[in-house]
Structure 1
Amino acid sequence: MAGDWLGLERAARALLVAPVLRLADALARFDDLVLHRTVTGAARATRRLALVAERGGERRVFDTAVRGVAAGCAGLGRLARRPQTGLLHHYLAQAVAALAAAAVVLLLVR
C-alpha cells in the first residue's frame, strides 16, 4: 500500500492528467481545423487585396488625389501672386479694402 502512494498516482492520472490531455487534444484539433484555416485564409485575402491595390487601384486613387491637391495649391499660389504688382498705390488700395471688409464684419457681428 505504501509503495502505491495510497493510490494518489492513479487518482491524479484519472482526475487530472487524463482530462487535461483530452482537453489539449481537443484544443489542438480546434487549432488545426478552425484557427489555422482562419489565419491562413485572412493572410491569403490580405495578400490578394494588396496585389489588386498594387496593380493600379491604389495608384489611381492616390495619384489623382495628390494631383488634385497639387493643382489646388498651384491655383492658390497664382491667386496669391496676383496682387503683388510692386506698385505702392495697389498695396494701399488693398489695405483699405481689407480694413473696410473687417469693419463691415465687425458691424455685422455686433
Structure 2
Amino acid sequence: MNKGWQEVTTEQVEQRLSHDPEIQLIDVRNPDEYEDDHIPGAKLIPLSELPARTNEIDHNREVIFICRSGNRSGKACEYMAQLGYSQMYNMVGGMLAWTGKRER
C-alpha cells in the first residue's frame, strides 16, 4: 500500500543535495535542536507548528522532512499526505545518522 511518501537514507539525501542544492528540506525538530546543528539550507518548521505553516512548503516541489531520528519527520509526512501533498520523503535515521555538512 502506498502511504503517500517514501523513505530516503541520509546518504540518498546527501547525493540529492549534491545534484540539487535548492531541494526543499524541512526540519521538524524543536528550535533548540535546530540551533545545535542542522543541515545547511534546511528550514525550521517544528512539528507542532506544521498545521499553521503548511503554506510555507511548496507542494509543487519535492520535500524532505528531517528530525532527530526519523519519527517526527514520518509524522510530518503522514500529516502532509492527509492534506494531499505528494513528492515527500522522510529521512530515516534523522540527524543521528547524518554524516554530511552541518551548520550551527
TM-score in terms of structure 1 length: 0.16
Q: Counting strand residues as a fraction of each chain, which structure ranks higher?
A: 2
Which is richer in helix? 1
Return the structure number with greater relative CO, CA threshold 8 A, min gap 6.
Answer: 2
TM-score (norm: length of structure 2): 0.16
